[in-house]
Structure 1
C-alpha cells in the first residue's frame, strides 16, 4: 500500500448547531476532506473530554453523545456511528508509555460533539475508524504539545490527527439571536496574534498561554484553546485552512500543521 502523509489539524468546532447550520465552516471542512487522501484512521483530542491523566478510547463503537442542552430536537437524532480501532488504541497506549506519558484506557466513554460534529461535515459516511483521546487538564501546555509530538509520526501512516476546540470561546459574549454581528477587537486581535506567532513559528509564545493578550476575554477557561497545543505538536509548517467568526466573537478558524 502506498501511504501518504496527512497533516495535523486544529478545528474550531463552534456551537452544536454547526451540525444543522454549517455556516461557512461546514463547507470549508468538506473541501478540506476532499483535498486530502482518505485517512486510514482519525485521532481526535476534544475540548469536551477533560480528564486528570491522559485517556485513550478503546471502545469498538462508541455511542454518539449529545453532550449539550436546549437545542432543537432534530440535533439529538444525529448519530455518527464510526467504529473505533482497538489495535490502534493499543498502539497509542504503547507509544505513550514509551514516551513516559501516563495514559489510561477507557472503553466506556461515548463520543462527544467535539469529535462527531466536525467529522459529520468531513466524512459523513462515518466509514473511517475514529479514536478519541482526552485533554489532560493537569498537564501544562508543553505536556499537551508533547502528546501531539508523540503521535506525529502516525501522520505518515495516513492517519489524521485533529485537535478540536475553538480559537476563541467565551459563551457569555456570544449573540445567539444575531448570527452576523461585527467581531469585537478583543476577539480579532487575539486570533490575529496567535496566527502571527504561528506563522513566525514562534510556538513558544503560544504555549506561554498565560501571557497571551486578551486571554481571559477569549478563554475564561482553557479547554477550547488547549487542543491547539496538541495540533501544534503534530507538525511544524503552519497554514490557515479557514478563518471566520460566528455569533460575533466565536472564532471558527481551521489550521493545518504539516
Structure 2
C-alpha cells in the first residue's frame, strides 16, 4: 500500500492548547489515515544548507519559541525516533544525486510535534525530520520530494509542515476580529486553484505569478514544505483540500491530502 502525503499549515505553537476547528480536523485526519510505520516530517523550522535527516532514537520535544504560556513549555511529544527510516531516506536522496547529512541529536521542532500531537496523541509512531534548504528554490524542493516518494511504499507518511500564508509582522498589526484582507485570500485562492490543476510549473514560480506573493511570504521557508509534499505525491490534481480556516486574521491554515481518499 502506498501511504498518502500531507501538507499542513501548522499555525501557532499554541494550537495544542487552543485546537479549535483546525485541531478537530487534525484529530479526524489522524483517525482516518492508515497507520504509518513511521513519519517523515519536513518542517519550516529546520533549515540547513545540505539536506539533513535526524537519527535521534528518542527525539526531544523542542520548544523553539518564546513569549507563550508556561503550560505550553511543559508539553512533551515523546514519540520514538525513526533512524532506520531516516537512513533509507538518505539513500534515496543520494541515489537521486542530492547530497545529504545525518544528525543524531536533532529533536522534533514545533512544526513537527504540534500537528502530530493532535493527529497521533499517543506518540507511538516513530518520527524523523528532514531539513529544508532556504537557499534552494521551490523546484529544487519538488525534486527532493520526488526522490523520497518510494518511502511511501514502506508505509511511511510524508508530512510537509509549514504555512500557506506567513507574514507575522502583518499578523501583529491586524485585528483578530477583522476578516482577512484581499491580499491574503487572493493568494490562498491562487494556490488552491493551481493545486487543483496540478500545475506544478506555476506553483514553482509562485513568486512571479501568484498575487501578493511577497506580502504573504517575505521569505520562502514556510511554503517550501508544500513543494516537498507535491513532489512526493503521485498525483496532485485530485488532492483533497482539508482545511480553509483563517487564524489571527491573516494566517491561513489550509492543508492538503495527496493520494488519499480524504
Q: Under TM normalisation by the shorter chain, which class is it? A: over 0.9
Which residue matches 1:228?
226
Which residue matches 1:249?
250
Does structure 1 residue 5 correspond to structure 2 residue 2? yes
Structure 2 residues without counterparts, runs of 5 or longer? none
Q: Name the CA distance, whole Å, in 2 between partners of 1:155 and 1:176.
A: 41
Which residue matches 1:55?
52
Does structure 1 residue 218 correspond to structure 2 residue 216? yes
Q: Verify the 8 A CA contact 2:38 2:157 in the aligned structure 1.
A: yes
* Structure 1 residue runs of 4 or more that deviate by more than 6 Å after TM superposition: none
1:17 is paired with a residue whose SS is coil
Q: Quote the offset at 1:118 in angstroms.
A: 0.2
Q: Quote the offset at 1:110 in angstroms.
A: 2.2
Describe the shift of the 1:36–1:176 C-alpha distance in structure 2 as closer, same or farther (beyond 3 A). Answer: farther
What are the superposed Cα offsets for residues 58-79 of structure 1, whole Å, 9 maximum, x if unpaired?
1111110100000000000000
Q: Return 204-213 or 168-177, whichever deviates more.
A: 168-177
Which residue matches 2:152?
155
Q: Name the CA distance, whole Å, in 2 between partners of 1:229 and 1:88.
A: 21
Q: Quote the offset at 1:82 in angstroms.
A: 0.6
Q: Verify the 8 A CA contact 1:53 1:138 in the aligned structure 2.
A: no
Q: Verify the 8 A CA contact 1:180 1:246 in the aligned structure 2.
A: no
Q: Name the CA distance, whole Å, in 1 between partners of 2:174 and 2:227.
A: 32
What are the superposed Cα offsets for residues 129-161 of structure 1, whole Å, 9 maximum, x if unpaired?
001000012222111111111111222222110
What are the superposed Cα offsets for residues 191-236 of structure 1, whole Å, 9 maximum, x if unpaired?
0001101101111101113212201110111110111111111112
Q: Name the CA distance, whole Å, in 2 between partners of 1:176 and 1:56.
A: 37
1:232 is paired with a residue whose SS is helix
Does structure 1 residue 133 correspond to structure 2 residue 141? no
Q: Name the CA distance, whole Å, in 1 between partners of 2:75 and 2:173.
A: 22
Q: Name the CA distance, whole Å, in 2 between partners of 1:110 and 1:128.
A: 15
Q: Name the CA distance, whole Å, in 2 between partners of 1:180 and 1:146.
A: 40
Q: Name the CA distance, whole Å, in 2 between partners of 1:117 and 1:180.
A: 24
Q: Name the CA distance, whole Å, in 1 between partners of 2:206 and 2:174.
A: 31
Q: Verify the 8 A CA contact 1:16 1:113 in the aligned structure 2.
A: yes
Q: Name the CA distance, whole Å, in 2 between partners of 1:181 and 1:109.
A: 39
* Aligned-CA RMSD value: 1.4
Q: Name the CA distance, whole Å, in 1 between partners of 2:100 and 2:247.
A: 35
Structure 1 residues without counterparts, runs of 5 or longer? none
TM-score, length basis structure 2? 0.94
Q: Name the CA distance, whole Å, in 1 between partners of 2:56 and 2:8.
A: 23
TM-score, length basis structure 1? 0.95
Q: Verify the 8 A CA contact 2:7 2:161 in the aligned structure 1.
A: yes
Paired residues in the alignment total: 255
Q: Quote the offset at 1:178 in angstroms.
A: 5.4
